[in-house]
Amino acid sequence: MLKVDSLTIHYYSRRGVVKAVNDISFTLGRGEILGICGESGCGKTTLGLALIRLLPQNAKIVSGKILLDGRDILSLNDYELSNIRWNQISMIFQGAMNALNPVKRIGDQLIEPLIIHGKCSREKAFERAKEFLRLVGIDPVRINSYPHTLSGGMRQRVLIAMALICSPKVVIADEPFTALDVMTQAQIIELMKELREKLNLSIILITHDLALASELATKIMIMYAGRIMEYGWVKDVCEKPLHPYTQKLIKAIPSLSGRAVALESIPGSPPSLINMPKGCPFNPRCSLMLNKCREKEPALKEMDGRYIACHRIQ
Amino acid sequence: MGDILHAIESSNDVIMMVEDLKVWFPVRAGLISSILKGEKIFIKAVDGVSFKINKGDVLSLIGESGCGKSTLGKALVGLVDVTSGRIIYRGREITSLNRRSILELRKELQIIMQDPYESLPPHMTVFDIVAEPLLVNKIVSSYDELENNVVKALEDVGLTPYQDFIDKFPHQLSGGQRQRVAIASVLTLKPKFVVADEPVSMLDVSVRAEILKLMLRLKEEFDLTYLFITHDISIAKYISNRSAIMYLGSILEMGDTEKVIEEPIHPYTKALISVVPEFNPKTLRKKIILRGEVPSPINKPHGCPLHPRCPFNQEICKIKTPELRELEAGHYVACHLV
């Protein structure tokens, strides 16, 4: 479906070149959900924006390929690109509170992609909008409501409906759960699972919440300082994390089940993406550091169906 | 009333006691509708809450957004006006005190805000921020004393060496460091009771644990009592010994944190705990998802606030509001069905 091949993205700022995404490769199959996790500033949002080519002007894709059904998204011109956006790949944006236009009714906002792509008439588009509102669990009579009359969870559902309305194959969801309560969050997780089954949708879920990703995703990618640290099936990564960063990240998550265990924080903070440390980007915070880690950056190695970038893994 | 006050004064353990507290905010209605209907409309943010906090406790107040937990927290430190009910802090009823005495008491009652990106003034240095409470309350008499106090507070919260931080502005600090500065400025006043309103929800997972650990250490060092407001039950489990579950302005269940989380009794608590994302796939729980949305605190449902969403709802739940009853020692539940 979607194949990303050694993608590298830099931001050009006054203070220097910010190396936000470094040599990232992955594939996403039909019906798969890939969870991309990491601390803030690890490049996960940049990666998501690049997939739909929405990067800000000061960002540049230095190298790499993004293949959607074999077509390189990076080589498309604006016209071809607008045909692909929303029709084949769409996005659920971060922050349900701000992503909708406050002065337009949700119905008008929902049909916009259909009308712009010339898919159908206005009446048909409204019919489809109602159908999708029902699909995401909103009463279609609310089609003429303004966003401020809806709750946060309902607005998030509208955004999901909007991302799905042109039946794309891939949906990128950037932190779709922040600002939602646990109960609403559980409702939306259930909805996304259901939609994935019904529509055979592929989803890229970008989130800082590893616990949440582990419930929804089929594969997990752990990012740090713009690089992949560990990438594999949920079961492998979550039950037997091999990378020291993944292990620490998991220990920092408080768990409800079992006895309260001491939480561990990761000392220090992520490196500046302008002045990267030499060697492994995690070495200043890693407790299992070897001499090698300060000199050479570990390559991403395959091991039993998963990928790890760590010198400790042989 | 005199009896209760007397009882509280004589017991040293209870630091804060709340009785049938209501905080209602009036909603501005149109002139015509207020004449026609003749009644005022209120947002019932906190609607009849009673509990007590023992000295040295960490009580977690858990609930979804809009359940009134922040309003309750603010009421306890005198930051919002109380509609009715009583708040008794160390034997003194703060709801009936005059302004001057409240200002005096407020040194002991402090609050840590949620968002360290917004709660710190961007134009002030760390020194100014931490020094301000000392200056406002005229606690120090000389500049040297002021500086000593600020340095000590910074060291207490682990911003060491202090020289690296004291002249910085908030934007030069990370989220975790900002929250430490906020905690330092609270500490300067030597508070006894601190409300922490979601102090780690804006921070990255990797730094949350340090701030929680810091708060627990300070509690021991300075003999603090916390009301810890959070929507995240797993954080409550980590930090608190007592927990209260709030929904639409009422407390539905309250007890020892371990009991409330391991053996929840109220249907709402059960559901809330079941939907917490669990990291380990082996320990996945069966999810109880409540349908629909939290009703508006303006039009609260009659009877039990949960009944429109409760899977077990009965006739009586629609008619009568359940009282918070003590089922086992120290474990309170407000539900008709238990």
Q: Do A263 and B278 touch (CB under 8 A)?
A: no
Backbone angles phi, psi at A92, to 5 degrees: -100, 115
Could you give the count of Cα atoms lying within 13 Å of B83 in the half-sphere of its Cβ?
17
Chain A interface includes B292 (CB < 8 A): no
SS3 B92: strand
SS3 A224: strand
SS3 B215: helix
- Could you tell me whether strands B58-62 and B242-247 are parallel, antiparallel, or unpaired per DSSP bridges? parallel
Nearest to B204 among A39, A254, A258 (CB): A39
Which band of pLDDT confidence, cut at 50, 70 and 90, is reported for residue B10? very low
Q: Do A256 and B210 touch (CB under 8 A)?
A: no
pLDDT tens digits along B285-300: 788 888 888 888 888 8
- Quote the pLDDT of residue B12: 62
Strands (E), chain B: 14-27, 41-54, 58-62, 84-89, 92-93, 109-112, 193-197, 225-230, 242-247, 250-256, 325-328, 331-333
pLDDT tens digits along A99-138: 899 999 999 999 999 998 888 899 999 999 999 998 888 8
- Quote the pLDDT of residue A224: 94
The tokens for B164 are 């690296």
- Quote the pLDDT of residue A258: 61
The residues near A268 (Cβ < 8 Å, ≥ 6 apart) are A284, A285
Q: Has residue A116 been placed in a domain?
A: no
User: Residue A34 in contact with residue A26, Cβ under 8 Å?
Assistant: yes
- Quote the pLDDT of residue B309: 92
Q: Has residue A160 been placed in a domain?
A: no
| Residue span of the structural domain in which A285 resides | 2-78+218-307
Which band of pLDDT confidence, cut at 50, 70 and 90, is reported for residue B315? very high
Q: What is the DSSP letter of A273?
A: S
CB contact residues (below 8 A), chain A span 259-288, against chain B:
260, 263-266, 269
pLDDT at B33 over 50: yes
Q: Has residue B175 been placed in a domain?
A: no
Question: What is the average per-residue pLDDT within B99-120?
Answer: 87
Q: Has residue A151 been placed in a domain?
A: no
| Residue span of the structural domain in which B296 resides | 2-108+191-333
- Strands of B14-27's sheet in order across: B41-54, B14-27, B84-89, B92-93
Residues of chain B positioned with their CB less than 8 A from the CB of A248:
206
Cα–Cα distance measured from residue A160 to residue B197, given in angstroms and rounded to the nearest whole number: 31
User: Residue A187 in contact with residue A4, Cβ under 8 Å?
Assistant: no
pLDDT tens digits along B138-170: 999 999 999 999 999 999 999 989 999 999 999
The tokens for B37 are 């209907």
Cα–Cα distance measured from residue B323 to residue B320, given in angstroms and rounded to the nearest whole number: 9
Q: Has residue A202 been placed in a domain?
A: no
Q: Which residue has the higher pLDDT, A281 or B65?
A: A281
Q: Has residue A168 been placed in a domain?
A: no
Q: Minimal Cα–Cα distance from B266 to chain A, Å?
A: 16
Q: Has residue B162 been placed in a domain?
A: no
Q: Has residue A275 been placed in a domain?
A: yes
- Could you tell me whether strands B325-328 and B331-333 are parallel, antiparallel, or unpaired per DSSP bridges? antiparallel
Cα–Cα distance measured from residue A78 to residue A72, given in angstroms and rounded to the nearest whole number: 13
- Quote the pLDDT of residue A18: 93
Q: Has residue A159 been placed in a domain?
A: no
CATH label of the domain that carries residue B274: 3.40.50.300
- Any idea which residue has 């080519």 for tokens? A53
- Quote the pLDDT of residue A246: 93
- Quote the pLDDT of residue B34: 65
Q: What is the DSSP letter of A7?
A: E
Please state the ipTM of this predicted complex.
0.78
Residue B190's CB: how many other CB atoms inside 10 A?
Answer: 14
Angle between helices B143-156 and B126-136 (to 10 degrees): 120
CATH label of the domain that carries residue A301: 3.40.50.300
Q: How many domains does chain A have?
A: 1
Q: Has residue B78 been placed in a domain?
A: yes
Instruction: Give chain B's end-to-end CA distance (angstroms, integer).
Output: 31
Q: Has residue B172 been placed in a domain?
A: no
What residues in chain A have per-residue pLDDT under 70? 95-97, 179, 257-262
Instruction: Give chain A's end-to-end CA distance (angstroms, integer).
Output: 31
Q: Has residue B145 been placed in a domain?
A: no
Instruction: Select the residue from B114, B172, B206 to test the A interface by mutation, using most A Cβ atoms within 10 A.
Output: B206
Q: Has residue A190 been placed in a domain?
A: no
Residues of chain A positioned with their CB less than 8 A from the CB of B281:
214, 234-235, 238-239
Q: Do A190 and B278 touch (CB under 8 A)?
A: no
- Quote the pLDDT of residue B280: 67
Q: How many domains does chain B have?
A: 1
Backbone angles phi, psi at A260, to 5 degrees: -65, 120
Question: What is the average per-residue pLDDT within B327-332?
Answer: 92
Q: Has residue B31 been placed in a domain?
A: yes
